[in-house]
Amino acid sequence: MAGFEILDPTVEPRLQPLTYVARPESLKGRRIGLVENTKFNSDRLLRKIGDILVHEYGAAEARMWRKRNSSVPAHDEIIDEAKRGVDVVVAGIGD
């Protein structure tokens, strides 16, 4: 059998530009957003983290949003409200 060619079945994902906001040097007076993914205990874990950030690190406040389910990105309302109302976001998984 003579040589032949086969076609590559794979693809590379499209590249997306991704830029990070600079991390704040201090959390003093910062508003904290917590994104809860609906998994069991993830709300408790994040609430605890929020309390620590407020009481031990001087953050101004911590508020929480709940995703529609654990397998989807945060929905637009969360993103829009977070953009307007918080300085730092903590997202976590609860299992």
Q: Site residues (CB under 8 A) for another protein?
A: 1, 3-11, 13-14, 16, 40, 68-73
Q: With respect to another protein, which residue has the nearer C-beta, 7 or 22?
A: 7
Q: Which residue has the tokens 């906001």?
A: 21
Q: How far is the CB of 35 from another protein (least distance, A)?
A: 16
User: With contact defined as beta carbons under 8 Å apart, do 35 and 83 qualify?
Assistant: no
Residue 15 or 22 with smaller CB distance to another protein = 15
The minimum distance between CB 38 and another protein, in angstroms, equals 9
* Distance in angstroms (rounded) separating the CA atoms of residues 59 and 36: 19
User: Quick one: 29 or 73, whose CB is closer to another protein?
Assistant: 73
CB of 41 to another protein, least distance (A): 8
How far apart CA 58 and CA 61 sit, in angstroms, is: 9
d(CA 34, CA 14): 29
